[in-house]
Structure 1
Amino acid sequence: MSAEVFKVGAVWHYRFQVKPFPRVQRSTRLRDRTAAGRVADKAYAATVVRANGGDPVPTLNQLLVDWLDVRGRHSSAHHIRSVETFGRLHTYGMDELLISQLDTDAVERARSKHLATHSHASANHWLRVLKLLVRWAVRREILPRLPWSVTMLPVQKRVRAILPLSAAMAWFAAVDRASTRSPSIGVAARLMLWLGLRESEVITARWEWIDWERGTYTPGKTKGKEADALKMMPWLVNYLTPLRQSEGLIVCRADGSPYGAGLARRAIRVANATCSTKGITPHRLRGTIATVMSENGAPIQSIQAYLRHKDVRTTMAYLEKNTDLIDTAQAKIAEKAGLTWRESGERPEGEPYRT
């Protein structure tokens, strides 16, 4: 059962009945059949939901506005920016559709438009934002399930940059020189690497969250609302001690006001150019400490706790492969198997010649 669309003169009308409500018959005031059908479907869907005691089915634009009003108050800055950008630039004509009308064909066509100017990775992010919004409607029981079935596009994984520890001191010195008027930027960069803090966590970091006796730092405002104490390296404690304050922001402007997002972007870009370290970003500093910990024998569960990830699979995505460790492992395997003589040309006792 659905709305019946019919023409009276040059204008399209619709009618339907959903029990227990009386029959509905109205004019769309439109001369275009497709546009009139969308109006009729919207009215019919809203009536069906009301009849079932739920909320009316919103358009994608209405859902987006509602999400920002309700969920935006306690979502991460990243999620908010993603949803705002999606709504402003990337709805591709779907904004006026009821979310129940976002079927597989509509979503795939919109994604194709996105792919005309964006990469596969960007299209996957676009689809994740759309799912974020509509799944919220599913949780509110506005829809029974996602009305489409569209899979992510395959994306070739690229090796992401990590900051070589041998270049770390020179790199931090370059950051300091690039931010002489804002010395807190150097502090921010060190917290991102040695404590694995996110940029948003650095911006809100406070002196009173440091336990100087135990040498730990407990982030008070985090993405996942965690409150786990992080063990600070003795070197980091020594670096922060001369700067120590009883309270307040650790990273702030000269007048004590907080920085915004991107606070270290320029200094990091200068340091990368100076030290020939391509691809280092605030988040890759976090990835660097995770990779270095793994290379030095820290269990994945410990790294997960240090980065405060809820899912260990997220932690695994931060770890970059180190082929030097593979070479070392291969050498140990060869030694235990008695294969090292093949390179030297000397045959160990008891080992037969082979052709």
Structure 2
Amino acid sequence: MGWIAGIGVGYGLTVLCPVIGSASLARLAAGETTLEALEEMRSTTANALRATSGILGTNLLVGGYMKFRKALGIHPADNAPSWTIAGKIEEKIESIRDPLIQAFVEEFVDEFFDSFIESGYVFAYELDAQLAAARAAKQPQVERQIELTPDKEAPDERLILVGDEADLKTQIRETIVSHRLIANRDVGQIVGQPAEDWFRAQPRRRSLTILFSERPMPPWRINKAERTRTATYTIPDPKVNLKWDQIKRAAKAYNWGRFRVTAHLSNGRQMAVYGASPKEAEEKLKELMELSTCEILTASTAEERIRHVKLKKEAVRMHPAYGNLLVRKTSDDTSGKTDLDGKTWKSNHVRFALWTKDEPSNFSEIIW
């Protein structure tokens, strides 16, 4: 009971202690005191002579108290009743008739005060240790600056580190380990290159594909047997709510051939258009890109010179035939396609005619 009382009082004191007082400190001190209490109980059980030492200690305290009174010149009257706290407690204990209960209460009182005082010593020790740590933490640290050369074969590569001595030791180790980890790798070269060279296109959410045919209208065969030549161009990220007249105007007939114009777009994609001449190919590319939200960053022109006879692109007049719009939207339906980010996409395809003079009826069904 003495240990329990001591732990309770000490716990409250450590919580209220200025500067370092906290629940964590109280738990730490209480834990140390509990361990000390367990050790004390084992020692008490193993050594029955502690009762004798307790009596001797009490006699010494009483004798010292009497000498102190005599030194002060206090002499009690001969007829005055003798009254002390210890005497009153002893009288109460001796008044117990049951010898077993009397022995239990006597040992209980002695051990209570002993364990209470010892628990106070433990708490005082823990408080002193925590106060010393708090004072050490508040002492101003000297800020230092060092120049670190991770690789002695590259003396021009130097790093400047500034901070407290304790922080610098940790930072130096981490810097050397990081340098050794990536020293022989091309991570720095990749990071140092322009972002435009490594930009990757995002998944398509909308795309407009336009099919050109050698014939201006069906049937799409020559002499009912031979298929006509076609050219297909996919326009990335088309504008929202395009009108059929806008698409028809951008996809007007033009001369197709062996000259190829390739454009690098602002969304990271490319688009190529073939024409009978470099100028015609470039003009058709610009007309089709008017339907897109992307911008042309660079464009290059090339000519096909060496190609199989059957695959040569002879100049021919191409006419708009069909348009195909693909729109992908996020959906809660699990039947759609799921990307790496866990999003489910549902696709909507709409094919509409461009060879007609008037807008087809199904064009109004498009949901951009």
**What's the TM-score once normalised by structure 2's chain length?**
0.17
Structure number with bigger Rg = 2
**What's the TM-score once normalised by structure 1's chain length?**
0.17
Q: By percentage of residues, which structure has more helix?
A: 1
